[in-house]
Amino acid sequence: MRELNQVLEDFNIAIKNGQMVGDELQIRYFYYQLLSFMDIRFSINDPEVIGLIKLLQPEFARTLSKAAQKRLACWNYVTRHRLTIANHQNDRLTQHIERRFKSDQLYLFLNQVVQPYFQRLTPSVSKYEGAMLYSFMVSFYILGEENFSSYDLTRRKKIGTAMLDTFTREMILNDYGYQRLSIEDERGLTYHLAQIHAQALYFRGNLTIFDQERLTYYYQAQLTTAPSDLLARLMTQTFTREPELAANTSAKAFIWQNYANLIIATEFSLHHTVFVGIELSNLTSLSDSLYHFLVAQLSGIAQVTIEKYRQHQYYDLVLTTVEKPIAVEKNRYYLSEFISDYDIKKIKIRLSAIKREKQGNK
């Protein structure tokens, strides 16, 4: 029992007289982590899960992914079983967490609909059920990037983790250059940062399936001087803004590993992926067919991202039909004909050369 309580200490909970004691949110989080660690297959076809998702889905434009639904099913399983236990200890939730999001529109929605939903199972439902579900949904990749992007537009920037999310994202974008990340990469970066910060601030402790020392060694080996410097600055600024995270050893390790993972992924994307813009502004009705022809011919090439040209966006190569100027721009390929195998062959050679150059400059 002593050894078990040593593990639980990181979660700020314990077993006493055969009962789990501590803040209810932390107890549910521990059970969620444990069941996830055990890889128990929770069915998204469970009527209770279907009912909960049906209740939540109207709030979001996009359907929750199956992976998100399975995580939600696991949390719902824990919640339903914990509803039968009268644990009214919510000190951390009331004193440190709820103030961060009590005016958030998503929280207000969940707080309104969740309590009546669970009252079908038991009449004594805690008034904090909405807050606990909110904490989970914004921390464990439930919303998905598109839903989160829409939600991010409505949440006030002075609540929750929004200020920290924005500040760290701007630090990263400023370090790499605002035009270098694609819109999709920038949106993904924002989403990941929000999940990292919410989990670190709303929950304590973490069960892992990987050897943490080996994982840290891997990240350190992947980070060169400039990315390491960025990581150090992110850590310093995050702990300056959120001192309670600096005082928690497991939170510091969690944030370091997740920041390192994001930076390595960004480095890989920028140094290994070739970004191509297709600029056909001088064409009218023919532009769509040529665009789709080029995409069809080139999209199968590994580590190449293609999109319609956007002004001020960074591209390694721009394919264009505008008249070839006297002073040819280095990162432009001027198409010689409307649809040409010759052009496709030349473009592929250029792409291979750019990939070799980028990988050599890593």
List domains and CATH numbers for the chain: 2-137 (no CATH), 161-271 (no CATH), 273-360 (3.40.50)
CA distance 325 to 318: 14
Q: What percent of the chain has pLDDT over 90?
A: 52
| Range in 39-48, 134-143, 252-261, 307-316 with the lowest mean pLDDT | 39-48
Name the pLDDT band for 87 (thresholds 50, 70, 90): confident
Look up tokens 């990292």; give the residue.
Answer: 196
Name the residue type at position 193: L
CA distance 204 to 225: 31
pLDDT, residue 362, reads 53
Structure tokens at 278: 């297709």
What is the overall mean pLDDT for the chain?
A: 89
First to last CA, the chain: 50
Q: Which residue would you say has higher pLDDT here, 200 or 222?
A: 200
CA distance 356 to 9: 50
pLDDT, residue 328, reads 65
CA distance 319 to 302: 18
Residue 336 has pLDDT above 90, yes or no: no
Q: Is the pTM above the cut of 0.85?
A: no
Rounded mean pLDDT of 27-32? Answer: 96
Name the pLDDT band for 156 (thresholds 50, 70, 90): confident
Name the pLDDT band for 295 (thresholds 50, 70, 90): very high
Phi, psi (deg, nearest 5) at residue 27: -65, -45
Rounded mean pLDDT of 76-101? Answer: 89
